[in-house]
């Protein structure tokens, strides 16, 4: 056990316990806006599909059913502007977090290899590098690092829309990263994989993304029609309220997906057959996604003005399920750190996530989730506005 966990950071969410207790003591109760877990019902058509496929005595296909892979291909073409994806380059995963955590190991990375990820980022990118024995490096200027830095980068993680900050990368920025990674691979003679975590892509709020869509790494404007060396991770947890199903997939270069598939066959990483059936139905239905997006849009419209009225600035947050907020400076020019802000919110009965969970660059921010019921969001907004 010690060997497995050596070098891993402490699980950060345990540090919220005292703040949760403070928030729970509020006379009107706790409003938990810390973890982005869906609270709305799983769509009925998806539940029906799960039940219909419940008689599943045999082992499921590790590669996913042909129907599921074709549904992913059709979804990319219809919703993400990515036509003609090869079904062989689609692989279901047990949620997207396990793919993020295991991808460096599955790609054979190890000592001397570098995994780069955004400076303010979901911590599992760092954890995945550590599990493989590679080195994680937070980088915001990715093109410059690939062009001017040592030729030791083997995996580049992008996250658009970003967690926690809701930042979106445009097609030109994505194209520049792909070009730099391919140039670095040519220069070093070693592959450089670019993987994009796009789990919030259906939840864009600001233009041009709300109207034009969030660009995918696999978009022809980015790839020029060549998906070699590229992978996209996606989850139905957010768009379809399927977090409990662990319904996700990775898609892109078939030459990369093939060895991932082989390892997963040996390791028994199989998505249950009823979940595969439910995913197939969910990916083919846009109406429930639009309905869920409207729910979050309404909650954001209630919560953001209240956060700003309480003396916070909301940075970026163009898409996704969070407000990335920092307090305005005090009269003497000082600014509260994320833990002081967390204590202030907890006294109001509101629990948020401290920004330094997502790296030192986030220490001045808190992440406030939109994933609460309408009533809970209204109560939080009222407390913030009164404060």
Q: Which two tokens stand for residue 257?
A: 């997906």
Tell me the C-alpha distance between 33 and 372, whole Å: 7
Return phi, psi of residue 207, to 5°.
-80, 150
The answer to whether the CB of 198 falls within 8 A of the CB of 233 is yes
Alpha-carbon distance of 277 to 67, in angstroms, equals 8
User: How far is residue 250's CA from residue 305's CA, in Å, rounded to a whole number?
Assistant: 36
Please, are residues 247 and 236 in contact by the beta-carbon 8 Å criterion?
yes
Instruction: Give, in degrees to the nearest 5, the angle at Cα 172 between 170 and 177.
Output: 100
User: In angstroms, rounded to a whole number, what is the distance separating the alpha carbons of residues 26 and 350?
Assistant: 9
Note the residue count of the chain.
Answer: 387
First to last CA, the chain: 47
3-state secondary structure of 282: helix
Number of C-alpha atoms within 13 angstroms, CB side, residue 29? 7
256-304 pLDDT, tens per residue? 999 999 999 999 999 999 999 999 999 999 999 999 999 999 999 999 9
Note whether 168 and 327 are within 8 A (CB).
no
* Angstrom distance (rounded) from CA 282 to CA 356: 35
Q: How far apart are CA 358 and CA 69, in angstroms?
A: 33
Shortest CA distance to 165 belongs to which of 58, 322, 284, 53? 322
d(CA 281, CA 70): 11
CA-to-CA distance for 298 and 301, rounded, in angstroms?
Answer: 5
Q: Averaged in consecutive runs of 10 residues, what is the pLDDT profile of the chain (387 residues)? A: 56 87 96 95 98 97 97 98 97 96 96 97 96 96 97 98 97 98 96 98 97 97 97 97 97 98 94 98 98 98 97 97 92 84 97 95 96 97 93
Q: In this structure, are residues 369 and 33 in contact, taking their beta carbons and an 8 Å threshold?
A: yes
Q: Give the list of residues 6+ apart from residue 162 with CB closer than 8 angstroms, or none.
A: 118, 120, 121, 168, 316, 320
Domains of the chain: 2-41+288-386 (3.90.1150.10), 44-285 (3.40.640.10)
Q: What is the pLDDT of residue 219?
A: 98
Whole-number Å distance between alpha carbons of 318 and 325: 12
CA angle 236, 237, 239 (to 5 degrees): 65
What SS3 class is residue 148?
Answer: helix
With a threshold of 0.75, does the pTM exceed it? Answer: yes
- Token look-up 């996209």 returns 232
Give the pLDDT confidence score for residue 329 in this predicted structure: 79
Q: Closest Cα partner for 110 from 131, 139, 138, 137?
A: 131
275 near 246, Cβ under 8 Å? yes
- Would you state the pLDDT for residue 2? 47
Helices (H), 206-253: 209-212, 220-223, 237-240
CB 237 within 8 Å of CB 248: yes
- Say if CB 102 and CB 124 are below 8 A apart: no
Q: What is the secondary structure of 320-346 as a DSSP string? A: SSEEEEEEPP-TTS----HHHHHHHHH
Token representation of residue 142: 């990715």
């Amino acid at each position: 056990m010690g060997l497995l966990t050596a070098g891993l950071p402490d699980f950060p969410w345990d540090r919220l316990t005292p703040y949760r207790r403070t928030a729970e003591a509020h006379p009107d109760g706790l409003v938990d806006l810390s973890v982005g877990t869906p609270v709305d019902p799983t769509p009925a058509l998806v539940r029906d599909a799960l039940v219909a496929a419940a008689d599943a005595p045999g082992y499921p296909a590790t590669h996913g059913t042909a129907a599921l892979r074709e549904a992913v291909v059709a979804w990319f073409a219809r919703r993400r502007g990515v036509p003609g994806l090869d079904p062989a380059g689609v692989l279901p995963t047990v949620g997207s977090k396990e793919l993020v955590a295991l991808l460096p190991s599955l790609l054979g990375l190890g000592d001397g290899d570098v995994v780069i990820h955004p400076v303010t980022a979901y911590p599992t990118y760092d954890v995945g590098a550590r599990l493989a024995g590679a080195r994680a490096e937070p980088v915001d200027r990715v093109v410059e690092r690939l062009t001017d830095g040592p030729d030791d980068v083997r995996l580049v993680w992008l996250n658009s829309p970003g967690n926690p900050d809701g930042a979106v990368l445009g097609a030109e920025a994505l194209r520049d990263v792909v070009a730099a990674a391919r140039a670095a691979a040519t220069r070093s003679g070693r592959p450089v994989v670019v993987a994009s975590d796009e789990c919030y892509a259906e939840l864009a709020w600001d233009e041009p993304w709300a109207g034009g869509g969030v660009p995918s790494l696999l978009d022809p404007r980015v790839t020029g029609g060549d998906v070699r060396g590229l992978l996209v991770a996606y989850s139905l947890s957010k768009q379809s309220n399927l977090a409990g199903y662990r319904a996700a997939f990775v898609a892109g270069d078939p030459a990369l997906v093939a060895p991932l598939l082989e390892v997963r066959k040996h390791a028994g990483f199989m998505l249950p057959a009823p979940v595969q059936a439910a995913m197939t139905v969910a990916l083919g239905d846009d109406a429930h996604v639009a309905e869920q997006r409207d729910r979050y849009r309404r909650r954001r419209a209630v919560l953001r003005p209240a956060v700003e009225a309480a003396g916070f600035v909301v940075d970026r947050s163009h898409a996704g399920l969070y407000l990335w907020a920092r307090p305005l400076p005090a009269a003497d020019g000082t600014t509260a750190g994320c833990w002081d802000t967390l204590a202030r919110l907890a006294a109001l009965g509101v629990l948020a996530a401290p920004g330094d969970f997502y790296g030192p660059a986030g220490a001045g921010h808190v992440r406030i989730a939109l994933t609460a019921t309408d009533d809970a969001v209204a109560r939080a907004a009222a407390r913030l506005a009164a404060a």
